[in-house]
Structure 1
Amino acid sequence: MKRHYTSALSQAFGKLASKEHSPKVQKIINTTYVRMMGLDMSEFESPESYSTLNALFTRKFTTMRPFSHDPKCMISPCDSLITECGTIHQNLALQIKGMSYSVDGVLGESIGAEAKKAVHDGVFVNFYLSPRDYHRYHAPIDMTVLSATHIPGKLYPVNIPSLKKQVDLFIENERVVLECLSNEGKRFFLILVGALNVGKMEVGFEPRIDTNTVLTPSHYAYADLQLKKGDDFGCFQMGSTIVMLCEPGMIDLGVAAGENVKFAQTIATITS
């Protein structure tokens, strides 16, 4: 595939965001960004401590947020706005109200037909991370990662106006698909969707995935890759979206579209 202009723009932004300036200049850049975007830095180091704007984007907590360790509680994997959620109707989930996308399409060709079918008629949640949000993502439950697939693509914006006008946005955009199992053996997927100015989507356990650089798909299977609830497994280098697709009967969702959620907040109950 050829590189799309949105990828080139995002690469350029990524280089600017990763540039180190003098401490005085960097302090001005960081504090200005924090003020303009309204970032809450109470759980993080002071803005001037970050050596680049990208380091500020991908900041880590000074102290881990507490969350429920009840194995029946699923927590939000990120700080975000839930743009849509609900039931997958056979093979269709909502991108935004009135606009559907194909679950099979967003999962891509490397995921087997039976694995795709497992989440038909299940539950989906779309988590949108704005530029002001904490950009790291975490395991929502104790889980086994079966595979990670990188699907190159475009990098259209994923904000509400774009969701309303760009058909098949989640399928058009670059993404990383994580195929997972719960402790109860239920299949679910976490799909990291790239967006404009997201220079990179980092997957901590799979350094071979190099987003917004490699133009050919890649697929990696694992024999015994375990993540514990709350584990940090990577970050977006700007705001973007995570799509979660769950097998029918796996969860009882406790949130609704339009809600803002925080990483570590309980969002669902594991039912089986």
Structure 2
Amino acid sequence: MSLTDRLFIALQHLIPQRWLSERLYWLARVRWRPFKRLIIRNFAQIYRIDMRLALEPDLDAYPHFNAFFTRALRPDARPLDPDPAAILCPVDGAISQIGTIEAGRLIQAKGRHYRVESLLALAPGEPHPFEGGRFATLYLSPRDYHRIHMPLGGRLDQMVHVPGTLFSVNAITSAGVSDLFARNERLICRFETAAGPMALILVGAIFVGGLETVWAGEVTPPHSGLEPRRWDYAVDEQCIHLERGEEMGRFNLGSTVILLLPDQTEWEPGLVPGIGVQFGQRLGRWRPADPG
């Protein structure tokens, strides 16, 4: 790791992460027309945002920057893979890491691992259903579409908000900060699907102003608190069920999504770190569990 990279990581330990994120949350919602117009237009130009894909292509129609950043896409912009057994990519972004969960560990970066129990904020010794299953860490850059969708249809069982640090989640920090994704603030959403248990973890980061879901609305901010908050959802006729490809949440300024799947799933060949992916494409397939 270069000296520049080390200094970048050291700086993140020193800056007031929450304070800066809360200030950006406020700035992203300023409605004063000259300010929001300047920010939106410059952002769209710098990151070469293709507004032809947006449901609302007019930059001036957005009331503030966050509305633009979390803009909806046209219904035909991201067609869903038609195979009902296909595991859909939940976001536009790039693969940071992808693979199999072995001995309870996931790959964070080359030479760095972290544990499923820590990521899911489980109590010591508490079991989980993902041993031998699959994981994918998907990084969303500023230019990406920032809504998150269901890889498979499923029933919501649990949501947990875990307070934590707000380190950057880029490649440099992933390589230099141990247990990054198990230390950062995150929102853990667990579902039961036809393929078995599934978890979608929305990981916060520096300047990520908020995390929200379609059923609970905005969960953060605030970013304060020491203990996780947990919501368990009833399994009855009032249960929350989301269809394959349906929106489940969004980042109010970008970050990372981690997808966990059980062992009766498999990834498509050729998916390796660094490859760009889009919502709706096939990441893998699931097969019915062996009744034996």
Q: TM-score if structure 1 supplies the norm length?
A: 0.91
Hey, what does 2:252 align to over in structure 1?
237
Q: Point out the more displaced range, 12-21 or 55-64.
A: 55-64
Hey, what does 1:121 align to over in structure 2?
132
Hey, what does 1:252 align to over in structure 2?
267
Q: Is the 8 A contact 2:210 2:219 kept in 1?
A: no
The Cα shift of 1:63 comes to: 2.7
RMSD: 1.9
Describe the SS at the equivalent of 1:113. coil
Hey, what does 1:203 align to over in structure 2?
213
Partner deviation per Cα, 1:204-238 (whole Å, 9 max, x = no partner): 11237334434142111112321101111221011
Hey, what does 1:63 align to over in structure 2?
75
Hey, what does 2:229 align to over in structure 1?
218
Q: Which of 164, 183, 190 does residue 172 from structure 1 map onto?
A: 183
Name the CA distance, whole Å, in 2 between partners of 1:26 and 1:9. Answer: 19
Describe the SS at the equivalent of 2:220. coil
Distance 1:98 1:105, change over 3 A: same
* 2:279 is aligned with 1:267: no
Hey, what does 1:100 align to over in structure 2?
113
Name the CA distance, whole Å, in 2 between partners of 1:78 and 1:269. Answer: 17
Q: Is the 8 A contact 1:132 1:239 kept in 2?
A: no
Describe the SS at the equivalent of 1:19. coil
Runs of 4+ in 1 over 6 A off after TM superposition: none
Partner deviation per Cα, 1:150-206 (whole Å, 9 max, x = no partner): 11111110011111111111011000111112214x112111100111110111112
Q: Is the 8 A contact 2:106 2:116 kept in 1?
A: yes
Hey, what does 2:21 align to over in structure 1?
10
Q: Which of 114, 122, 128 does residue 109 from structure 1 map onto?
A: 122
Aligned residue identity for 2:264 = G
Aligned residue identity for 1:98 = G
Aligned residue identity for 2:181 = F
Name the CA distance, whole Å, in 1 between partners of 2:200 and 2:146. Answer: 15
Partner deviation per Cα, 1:63-118 (whole Å, 9 max, x = no partner): 3532124320111100011011011111111011211111110100379823x2x2
Name the CA distance, whole Å, in 2 between partners of 1:66 and 1:243. Answer: 22
Give % identity. Answer: 29
Name the CA distance, whole Å, in 2 between partners of 1:244 and 1:13. Answer: 27
Hey, what does 1:20 align to over in structure 2?
31
Hey, what does 1:137 align to over in structure 2?
148
Aligned residue identity for 2:98 = C
Q: Would you say how many aligned residue pairs link Structure 1 and Structure 2?
A: 265
The Cα shift of 1:58 comes to: 0.7
Distance 1:56 1:207, change over 3 A: closer
Q: TM-score if structure 2 supplies the norm length?
A: 0.85
Name the CA distance, whole Å, in 2 between partners of 1:142 and 1:237. Answer: 24
Name the CA distance, whole Å, in 2 between partners of 1:206 and 1:111. Answer: 28
Distance 1:202 1:247, change over 3 A: same
